[in-house]
Structure 1
Amino acid sequence: MTTTLQASQTALVKALNRNQANALVAYLNYKKYHWLTFGPLFRDLHLLFEEQGGEVFAMIDELAERSLMIDGVPVANPADYLPTASIQGSTAEMSVREMIEEAIATHEQIISEMHEDAEVSANAGDIGTADLYTRLVQVHQKHRWFLKELLKKGNGLTV
């Protein structure tokens, strides 16, 4: 393998690892929101956070397996997840609105990074990884859309 090809593959695996770690942190944030949501929309939000969290959780394995497919090593040690992630774990006590806003911000960061990572992957000739990002970004965009709809005014049920 040439030095340029090795550097490209290393960069692709590093991005996959970051996205894998981000998926775990986002999932754990969702579990927090799921457990700690309250108020008149409790049931709907409790179920929404569980559903969206489950979809994000499924991404962890897909990203790890993609690293293996391109001869990389995924994040495997629990202690390595937080330092590898670019998003932060949720730590504050929050209102329901703040939980939703934090989840939206997380999705926006992940979407932005996956757009960049898809472009880098495509430019490196790795259309499989680029395709994975394209598919996963759509899931994050749908989650962001659902969450943003909760904050719209005018229906009397906003958070």
Structure 2
Amino acid sequence: MNIDIGISQANREEIAQGLSRLLADTYTLYLKTHNFHWNVTGPMFQTLHLMFETQYNELALAVDLIAERIRSLGFPAPGTYKQYAQLSSIKEEEGIPAAKDMIRLLVEGQEAVVRTARSLYPSVEVASDEATADLLTQRIQLHEKTAWMLRSLLE
């Protein structure tokens, strides 16, 4: 069936491509956060272990919301590590960083997601896609707050 939601095919495709990058960043950050949750050590273990768990659980829910928005626009959501590696602006870590380095890397990851989300606004505004704009606003608010909380641990 044709999709007739008041957004052209070309605009929906452009937005879906941007959301695919956001999905890849979010999933990559989820995986990194989960890895750090499992492998953190040191005097801040308990605090970081629990904080990282809260963060990866939120990211797990977010990937579903983003993927479902892509599907709502009529396009397949990427879902493989290969696709995520190609689309994500966040790189995987080799080895197990020290706890403070984990925090710094997660700040960088949170901020990368914000930049990716923010980069979609021009396409979303042209298409008057309020649903995607709302999703982006919510994601930006959450990632900026999480980055601030993580940065606070480094001061």
The answer to whether the superposition gives a TM-score over 0.5 is yes
Aligned residues with identical type, % of pairs: 29
**Aligned: 1:90 with 2:73:** no
* Partner of residue 33 from structure 1, selected from 36, 40, 46: 36
Distance 1:119 1:141 in 2: 20
Alignment of 1:15 onto 2:18:
yes
Q: CA deviation at 1:99?
A: 0.7
What is the alpha-carbon distance in structure 2 between the residues aligned to residue 134 and residue 119 of structure 1? 13
TM-score, normalised to structure 1, is: 0.87
2:136 is matched with which residue: 133, 147, 152? 133
Give the 3-state SS of the residue equivalent to 2:122 in structure 1: helix
Q: Is the 8 A contact 2:23 2:63 kept in 1?
A: yes
Q: Aligned runs of 1:1-159 on 2, under 5 Å? A: 5-152=8-155
Q: TM-score scaled to structure 2, two decimals? A: 0.89
Q: Distance in 2 between matches of 1:53 and 1:76?
A: 17
Q: Is the 8 A contact 1:119 1:130 kept in 2?
A: no
Aligned pairs, number: 150
Retained in 2: the 8 A contact 1:33–1:99? yes
| Cα separation, 1, equivalents of 2:94 and 2:11 | 35
Cα offsets for 1:83-113 (capped at 9, x unmatched): 1222112224311111111110111111112
Task: Give 1:64 shift.
Answer: 0.6
- Considering Cα pairs closer than 8 Å and 6+ residues apart, tell me whether 1 or 2 has the greater RCO: 2
Amino acid at match of 1:86: S
Deviation at 1:49? 0.6
Q: Which runs of 5+ in 2 are unaligned?
A: none
Output the CA distance in 2 between the equivalents of 1:107 and 1:55: 12
**Structure 1 residue ranges without an equivalent (≥5):** 153-159
Over the aligned positions, Cα root-mean-square deviation in angstroms equals: 1.7
- Rate the CA distance shift 1:76–1:93 in 2: closer, same or farther, 3 A: closer
| AA matched with 2:87 | T
User: SS at 1:19's partner residue?
Assistant: helix
Distance 1:66 1:81 in 2: 17
Deviation per CA, 1:104-138, whole angstroms, max 9, x where unpaired? 01111111121121332122211111110001111
